Structure 1
């Protein structure tokens, strides 16, 4: 036993505590910084977006969801063109730079006309488009840079940077919304997003300096080349692959569960907190609680679960909890119960579902990591949003009884869990084929 103890003492503390090898520490730090900066910038905008959505009328939210889906479809060809023509390592700077330019424009517009309802609706739609686009791209960089075995150890830890940013952003929004106004928050958030793109570039350079033994698609020369293909290649790849179709179904069910809870949130908050500044503070407080729980779980639990039990466990646990949560809401549709269920859903998604979902992409080709993945994360997700928004609105109009939607939500959550179980098994088979 003594040699084992001595070896343990020589093991670096990062490896013992978090599973990080010494040469990986700079990359983990860069990944943490990339997500921290991106999520700080986005979560400064999120409470503003929620307030703009409520200001436009809770009964009109399904129109905003539909507008978001149409805007996402319109943006897809532009993104596809960039991903086809630009070197893999430069996709993020191009896309992030264009997004920052639009945010600066919205910020200036709301500084000049802070009460313009249509500007608020346009902002709601645009932020709903770019948040999925930017987050998906950041995860694409990680799936491109790290191998599957590294992802199981490191993805959840790196995702803690997202939770830290998700904690900092709402706090900044809550404190700065009155002195800066909504327009000022947009201008400040754009700086964080621009800095995040710099971290993505650094991650590619780190992989260049530390190539894998079997470099393959991780080789520097490969990442210097454009992916090629046409702007719609991501969509066609999804429909040709049962594995990618499974991920798409998983995302649609996730979006449906999220939308059902989102509509309930908008209804309860609009009834209890009529003041717009107060609504922004409430949304910011919920975000803060979610991120505190998520970051603790990501740091100390998720990576160990993924290594010992596999990716499938990360994809099944939260849907099962949500099935129970929907049943609870059907029996007790009050704000306190809703907050508990919403916090569990979002914290669980950040800590378990999102890292697990991104691990699935480490076993697909590079083009699918950027194109098919982005199509699923944006168009498919927002399509699920729009469809479920109209279904939820129809249920409310016909029955005027939120409990019915909650019971249907429980059934959808069970289907979500079953899909996650199947994807976990498929990921193990693909990983075994890549690393026999």
Structure 2
């Protein structure tokens, strides 16, 4: 039976399931994030190198596991095993948070910071690898902004849920709320996978190959090399802003609940900017001027913000008549443009690569490379402070990184190994 007469209906259902899935995934994550971040704020940025060192070691251990799953199991089973594992872990954390006073906030905070970081990277990266498998290049530029906007809506709903429920239900109950959201996301993804397998069974097959091929691809293929460098540069900027914000909250908030509320508000501003971009400028760029503009513009914005920080230095800046910490403006701007523009553009580019790159190479870059960058940047930040470099100097250094990232982003979007935008990538490498 020819499925073409129902193509429009099928495409609409596919998009709806994709949007719902990502909404639930990011709601699950952003229920947890303010709890994690206030622990970092209590410790200050000096503790981040240790946190990120543990995360990096965990990434090195888990990346081969992810590669093995992709190589050996069909897509449906891989998604089910991965997401259910994180749901089980969330539930397992509940007794630990019930006994938080006995365990100690610092010890629990280190473990939870590492786990939430792994949760974010693997769950979200796997989702976008799946999306790059489902959508072809000609559809991705149209659909990905809507999917990303669904995620941004979840990123707004998560902090709101946390602020609404945590004082009534307590912190342990928030883990259950997050687990329920992730289970619902899994149900939507399994439904989407079943629909796509019925239409294209080959794309659901295991990829085969070595568990280390993701790392090899990241250094062997031009596009993935560019994305690796861009990840390190962009992560350097984002992690710097995150560390400076940790020091700001440590200096200005002594109450755990107040820090949690501040970080929830910060997430709302970041994700609100991202949602606004995905509703307005990002679709116009992706559909009109092309993916390159949407990948390059966030680096230009970073350059401007960091130049402002280098000139202005620490302290407050006037924004719409209000005194706002400049480090907060930098974090909102850098992360908002990353989530609202750069991420949809990068994910659209991955649709023009073979499945091996979409799953293994992409996951390696967005897990191991990312966390190596975190460790490198936070260690370097502590070193700069040890030799007397202040916030203005750090801003100037990061502005230089943003200038380099602008050129790397341009080259990534025009990499010679990307398939033409009008051409679907064949999956005969599966």
TM-score (norm 1): 0.89
Q: Give the C-alpha shift of residue 181 in structure 1.
A: 2.6
Distance 1:58 1:385, change over 3 A: closer
Partner in structure 2 of residue 14 of structure 1: none
Deviations 1:126-157 (A, max 9, x none): 11112011110110111000000100001011
Partner in structure 2 of residue 409 of structure 1: 398
Alignment of 1:135-146 (within 5 A): 135-146=124-135
2:374 maps to which of 381, 385, 390:
385
- Contact 2:138/2:424 (CA < 8 Å) preserved in 1? no
- Contact 2:41/2:246 (CA < 8 Å) preserved in 1? yes
1:104 maps to which of 83, 91, 96:
91
Partner in structure 2 of residue 353 of structure 1: 342
Distance 1:290 1:120, change over 3 A: same
Partner in structure 2 of residue 169 of structure 1: 158
Gaps (5+ residues) in structure 1?
1-19, 212-218
Question: Is the aligned partner of 1:288 residue 2:268?
Answer: yes
**RMSD of equivalent CA atoms:** 1.9
Deviations 1:307-357 (A, max 9, x none): 211111111111111111112112322252222222111211111100011
Distance 2:277 2:77 in 1: 32
Distance 1:74 1:384 in 2: 17
- Contact 2:84/2:183 (CA < 8 Å) preserved in 1? yes
**SS state of the match for residue 431, structure 1?**
coil
Partner in structure 1 of residue 211 of structure 2: 231
Partner in structure 2 of residue 69 of structure 1: 56
Deviations 1:406-426 (A, max 9, x none): 100000011111111111112
Distance 1:22 1:79 in 2: 33
* Structure with the larger helix share: 1
Question: Is the aligned partner of 1:430 residue 2:411?
Answer: no
Distance 1:102 1:72 in 2: 17
| More divergent stretch after superposition (158-167 vs 176-185) | 176-185
Partner in structure 2 of residue 12 of structure 1: none
1:44 maps to which of 21, 31, 45:
31
Deviations 1:238-295 (A, max 9, x none): 2221211111111111111111111111111111112111010000001112222222
- Contact 2:299/2:402 (CA < 8 Å) preserved in 1? yes
Question: Is the aligned partner of 1:278 residue 2:258?
Answer: yes
Distance 1:371 1:162 in 2: 23
Partner in structure 1 of residue 319 of structure 2: none
| More divergent stretch after superposition (173-182 vs 148-157) | 173-182
Q: Give the C-alpha shift of residue 102 in structure 1.
A: 1.2
**SS state of the match for residue 408, structure 2?**
helix
Partner in structure 1 of residue 201 of structure 2: 220
Partner in structure 2 of residue 308 of structure 1: 288
Partner in structure 1 of residue 246 of structure 2: 266
Gaps (5+ residues) in structure 2?
1-6, 317-323, 426-430
- Contact 2:138/2:422 (CA < 8 Å) preserved in 1? no
Distance 1:252 1:77 in 2: 21
Partner in structure 2 of residue 243 of structure 1: 223
Deviations 1:342-380 (A, max 9, x none): 211121111110001111210111122111111010001
Distance 2:287 2:156 in 1: 27
Distance 1:433 1:237, change over 3 A: farther
